[in-house]
Amino acid sequence: MADNLKFSRYNHFVEFENKLFLIFNARTAALLKINQKTFSILENNKDVGINNIIDQLSPALLKQLRENEIIIPNDTDEIGMIKTDSLAKRFSNNSLSLTIAPTLDCNFSCIYCYEKHRAIYMDQTIQKKLLSFIEWNLRDIRYLDIIWYGGEPLLSKDLIFDLTENIIKLSKKYNVNSKFSMITNGYLLTKDVASRMNALGIDGVQVTMDGPPDIHNTRRPLYDGSETFNTIIENIKACKGLIPNITIRVNVDQNNLNHFHRLKEILYAHDIPNFARLALSHVDALSENNKTYEPYCLTMHKFSEINLIHLIDEFNSGNYDISEPPLGSGCGAIALNSWVIAPDGYLYKCWCEIGYDKKIVGHLSDIKDLNRYYYEWLSFDIFNFADCKECDILPLCMGACPDKLNKLGPGSFCTRWKFYLKEMLILYYLAKSQHKKGGDKSGRQGN
């Protein structure tokens, strides 16, 4: 048996303060805690092979290592397995993911915005075509995921509510599980709006706040220059108990990276982190609309460092909501059943491209009439990039953003797990251990 085994190429050995010893496999997401002696034996032989140390491992441990695919049969083609699994997920007909913008109009004028805002709204004709498109797909799928997007989607709140009601009826007709969420700037997210969303089952919102008032209001003002911070704070507080999944997103670049801690102090003063999740996001400048903002953007390495510091600070504050290592088929833009739909009915694959005529892939009027750009997205192959193919955390990102990878090549926009994998794994393990002890949604210990 020993001669037929080998270590997985995706194993990572992590030690913390000579007290915690972990083995992580990036393909299976297995994270095992072992004792120091076994850790040393395995780590010291990771490049030599498993065969020489089989007799030093107990049958129970050997079984555990095999079940989690830390150790695998010698003839296992892991790259082939990853490629097959990725293609199966990308081209599955099991689900449909739609990012729908009922308008490209916006009440904000954000300094780094990548969109071309236009005062166009989805008319009755396009709404009917959208519902027909959804119903046509519902006959063959089991899961429907709708994200309301913009522009600012709540400028079309009544349209969204009407469409959501109709989509729910169609989902019930075809026995499909449907999920609804929204990305909004939060300025129009009043308690009445949140109550209506709650009644319809729109159970997730993402709201962006870029710092304390003096920073946020310069980065994300109303179109006429008016301040927005205080209104958003009050709206988020009004969502408590109405919208179960609230994410406060902070877009980070050189202009605000040193001010995030002041925003957190304000959010904690309003008790917001106890019912909403804080998440940092990287600002890039790759669209035609925000290219001039590029000098203020951070490298992914620097952003990953800032994100790690934030997560450690959250953990030390008693918040154990640390995301697990990501696994999947990569970006939805390269998936068969994933679409971005503009208010004029035009179809896109990436939501960063909505509103740009050169990026259109088709129209709701004839879903079968798709252009070359559509097939360029679907034919994307991460395994054409040698650096990515050989990367020992490939399954965690599958190339992350295909568009950035094509434009800039490997290394420029790797997943945040790439740069601080050891620290992220330790933090995730410790947070997971705290969750097992109990606590509220944020992870804080109950009485």
DSSP 225-261: S---HHHHHHHHHHTTTT-SEEEEEEEE-TTTTTSHH
H/E stretch holding 121: strand 118-121
Compute how many other C-beta atoms are within 10 angstroms of the C-beta atom of residue 77. Answer: 10
Alpha-carbon torsion, ordered 291, 297, 303, 309, to 10 deg: -140
In this predicted structure, what is the pLDDT of residue 319? 83
Task: Please check the confidence at residue 286 and state whether its pLDDT lies above 70.
Answer: yes
58-100 tens-digit pLDDT: 999 999 999 999 999 999 999 999 999 999 999 999 999 999 9
Compute how many other C-beta atoms are within 10 angstroms of the C-beta atom of residue 323. Answer: 12
Compute how many other C-beta atoms are within 10 angstroms of the C-beta atom of residue 172. Answer: 10
Task: Please check the confidence at residue 413 and state whether its pLDDT lies above 90.
Answer: no
Task: Please check the confidence at residue 446 and state whether its pLDDT lies above 80.
Answer: no
Q: Distance (Å, rounded) from C-alpha 424 to C-alpha 107?
A: 37
Tell me which of 24-28, 116-120, 304-308, 347-351 is least confident.
Answer: 116-120
In this predicted structure, what is the pLDDT of residue 437? 63
In this predicted structure, what is the pLDDT of residue 3? 60
Tokens found for residue 164 = 């959501």
Helix (H, G, I), strand (E, B) or coil at 210: coil
pTM (whole model) above 0.85: yes
Q: Distance (Å, rounded) from C-alpha 174 to C-alpha 138?
A: 6
The mean pLDDT value of the chain amounts to 92
Residue 389 vs residues 33, 187, 333, 381: alpha-carbon distances, Å: 28, 43, 20, 10
189-216 tens-digit pLDDT: 999 999 999 999 999 999 999 999 999 9
β-pairing, 118-121 with 143-148?
A: unpaired
362-381 tens-digit pLDDT: 999 999 999 999 999 999 99
pLDDT band at 443 (very low <50, low <70, confident <90, very high): very low
Task: Please check the confidence at residue 290 and state whether its pLDDT lies above 60.
Answer: yes
In this predicted structure, what is the pLDDT of residue 326? 84
Eight-class DSSP state of 76: -
Measured N-to-C along each axis, helices 300-316 and 260-269 cross at an angle, to the nearest 10 degrees, of 30
Task: Please check the confidence at residue 440 and state whether its pLDDT lies above 60.
Answer: no
Q: Distance (Å, rounded) from C-alpha 333 to C-alpha 348?
A: 8
Tell me which of 145-149, 225-229, 429-433, 435-439 is least confident.
Answer: 435-439
β-pairing, 71-73 with 31-33?
A: unpaired
In this predicted structure, what is the pLDDT of residue 421? 94
Eight-class DSSP state of 102: S
Q: Distance (Å, rounded) from C-alpha 365 to C-alpha 14?
A: 53
Average pLDDT over residues 210-232: 97
Compute how many other C-beta atoms are within 10 angstroms of the C-beta atom of residue 97. Answer: 16
In this predicted structure, what is the pLDDT of residue 291? 85
